[in-house]
Amino acid sequence: MKVSAFTLLLFFIAVALVMASLIGHFYAIPQLSEYQYWLMTGGFAVLAFGIIFKGQSN
């Protein structure tokens, strides 16, 4: 499976958002704890976007 630089970048952004959400869930960090749901939702949305448009870039 060939992974382009764009989809790899989207994957790392999604992982960073999900990790920030999990850190905000388990530790009391005000900025992360307040938006943990939206960070998780954003991470999965970015991941879905990368999967849907995989191979579409020229």
User: What is the number of domains present in the chain?
Assistant: 1
Whether 58 is in a domain gets the answer no
Whether 2 is in a domain gets the answer no
- For 14-56, write each residue's pLDDT tens digit: 999 999 999 999 998 888 889 999 999 999 999 888 888 776 6
Residue with token string 């869930």: 25
Whether 1 is in a domain gets the answer no
CA atoms lying within 13 Å on the CB side of residue 6: 10
Overall pTM > 0.85: no
Domain span including residue 24: 9-52
Whether 26 is in a domain gets the answer yes
Angle between helix 5-26 and helix 36-52 axes, rounded to 10 deg: 160
The token pair at 39 is 């960070």
